[in-house]
Amino acid sequence: MISSLISSQTINRDGEDIGGSRAQGRSMSSSFRDVIRNVFSNRNILVISITTSLWSICNMSWRPYWSLYLKHVLKASIPVVGMLSMIQSSSQLLFQLPGGILADKFGRRRIIVYGTVFRLIPPIIYLLATTWVHVIPALLISAMASIYMPAFNAIIADSLPHRQRGAGYGAYRMITSLPRIFMPFIGGIVMDMLGYEEGVRVFLFATIFASIVIIIARAKFLEETLVREGRSRSARTTFTSAFEVPRTIWVMMVVATLGGFALRLVMPFMSIYAIEIIGLTNTQLGLVQTLGSVISTLLSMPGGMLSDRFGRKPMILATRCITPLTTWGITIVKNFPQYLTVQLIGSVGAALGGGIWGFAGGPAWQALVADLIPREKRGTIMGTIGTITGVVGAPSSWIGGYIWNNYTPQMPFNISLILGLLAAVIFGLFVKEPRKREE
């Protein structure tokens, strides 16, 4: 199926703007079709979209309940849940910059395939784990697999038509999100029926099978986008170039660091808060995530198109304001309808494309990064952003767990709100869009 879909596409190797300029009177639905046709006529985007969709279908079935699985099945305390998240985040940062350098030196495809192979191992270890201690090796291997993320982000940026980059990221996000929309809800039903232990294990088996298919598809169908002229740069030169970036990128690193720290401070505990403090069932939690995914998925492409037309900055700033407010908002709700309302507002904010997870964010954020960085340096710079944000954000989950356990469950959310809004203020004051976007 994957082979037939990919082989039928017209390959747009350099990601040029094959749509050209559109008539002003073209309808919105026609514009949507134009963007989707232009974006998915590229073989790499199609391969990555199909494989990412397959991965997220399996992953989003159990991931929302992972903290609860750690707590109730593997007997991890709240601080331990935070510590495990910290281990994964801190170890990931070790591989971001090397991954970016390797992507710019040896190409995107090879690094992506090798990293995807490593990604097969963690779910196998999760299946065999009988205590939270056994999870630690899997977290370290998962972090090692993240070495391909700079290459992954770079190959997407390389392959999108640059004049439709925001809409292109939005289309990619929409298509890859559609298949997984109902998985948190389905996962919640399974958890309520089978319990966390059996429910998570069912989906881990599916994840292992999907990973094997993804490895084969990416190895066979991905094409290299980095074509060098003349001699390749030395590793030292490549490393040095990581710090030769526009001032706006440095400001975005600060924003990503603050925003990422703020969100990681509470993210591992949000499902626990919803279940154990507000009183939601697993099915209700899954339903909220599903409805939120519907909204963010359907609005992601319009959000990207708006960023192409009116600029990246307004979209990103809106997201950076809405996200901390709605994350904090769950601490003042008392029941399921209120929780649902707050989370759906957050989904609208996420759909605007501002990047709630820092450097690896939404369409507008990713498009702005690509606008600022030339093709031959994208892997290295994206890896640098990931490393710097990871270094500072590494202890945030453990700190959040410590504050939860020793003070109140609400206090980490209060701190997260302050840091998130501070990041939004810095972005609004100091980030400027380039006059000319990189190809």
CATH of the domain at 209: 1.20.1250.20
Residue-wise over 399-426: b if at least 16 C-beta within 10 A, else e?
A: bbbbbbeeeebbbbbebbbebbbbbbeb
Residue 67 has a pLDDT of: 92
The SS3 call for residue 76 is: coil
Residue with tokens 């399921």: 336
Q: What is the Cβ-side half-sphere exposure of residue 343, based on CA atoms within 13 angstroms?
A: 22
Can you read off the two tokens belonging to residue 340? 């649902």
In a domain, 8, yes or no: no
The verdict on residue 167 lying in a domain is: yes
CA 31, CA 159: separation in Å to the nearest integer? 19
Q: Residue 359's pLDDT is what?
A: 41
Whether 19 maps to a domain, the answer reads: no
Residue 330 lies in a domain: yes
pLDDT of residue 278: 96
Which residues contact residue 260 at a Cβ distance below 8 angstroms, ignoring those fewer than 6 apart?
Answer: 357, 358, 359, 389, 390, 392, 393, 396
pLDDT for the residue numbered 437? 65
**If you ran DSSP here, which 8-state letter would residue 357 be given?**
T
Closest of 267, 396, 253 to residue 326, by C-alpha: 267
What's the burial of 8, exposed, middle or buried (CB within 10 Å: 0-12/13-18/19+)? Answer: exposed
Residue 1 lies in a domain: no
Instruction: Report the distance separating Cα 252 and Cα 149, nearest Å.
Output: 18
Instruction: Give me the domain span that covers residue 128.
Output: 38-226+234-430
Determine the Cα angle at 135 with ends 129 and 137, to 5°: 115
Domain total in the chain? 1
Q: Is residue 287 part of a domain?
A: yes
Handedness of CA 29, 32, 37, 40 (dihedral sign): negative
165-177 and 149-159 are packed helices; what angle lies between their axes, rounded to 10 degrees?
A: 120
Low-confidence ranges of the chain (pLDDT < 70): 1-32, 91-93, 162-164, 227-244, 353-361, 436-439
In this structure, what token pair is assigned to residue 436? 């000319």
Q: Specify whether the CB–CB gap between 349 and 323 falls below 8 A.
A: yes
Residue 67, token pair as written in the block: 């903290």
Single out the residue of 257, 272, 249 nearest to residue 357, CA to CA: 257
pTM higher than 0.75, yes or no? no
Domain-embedded: residue 127:
yes
